[in-house]
Structures are given as C-alpha cells and as structure tokens.
Amino acid sequence: MPSIVTFITVVAALAVAVVLIMGLWNMARNGSPNRSQALMRMRVILQFVTIVIAMTALYFTTG
C-alpha cells in the first residue's frame, strides 16, 4: 500500500512541475496572459491536491 501512495504522490508532484513549466514557457514566449493565469491556477489546485495526498498518506502510515 505505501508504494502505491508514494507513486500517486510522485505523479501528482510531476503534474505540478509540468503545469508550472507550461505556464512559464507560455509567459516567456509572450503567450496569452489568460492562458498563463489559467495554468497558474491549475498549478495551485494541483499543489493542494498533492499536499492533501501526501498528508493523508503520512497520517495513515505513521503510528
């Protein structure tokens, strides 16, 4: 069970990194400000989900 939770947490963290890079890339190439804003909002939501997953895993795996 802990290996599955670890895998899910890592995948969620990678999703955050991908969205962050996409947002930065869009800003660097002078893309749409609305798209950058949407990507940064998505990043914040994904960060929240990642933290909830990690904290829930810690709660259930520690004594």
Count of domains observed in the chain? 1
Q: 6-27 in b/e burial notation, b at 16+ Cβ within 10 A?
A: eeebeebbebbeebbebbeebb
CA dihedral 50, 56, 60, 63 (to 10 degrees): 100
20: CB partners within 8 A, 6+ apart: 43
**pLDDT at site 5:** 83
pTM over 0.75: yes
Residue 1: pLDDT over 60: no
| Domain housing 51 | 2-61
37-50: pLDDT as tens digits:
999 999 999 999 99
What tokens appear for 14 in the block? 């990678």
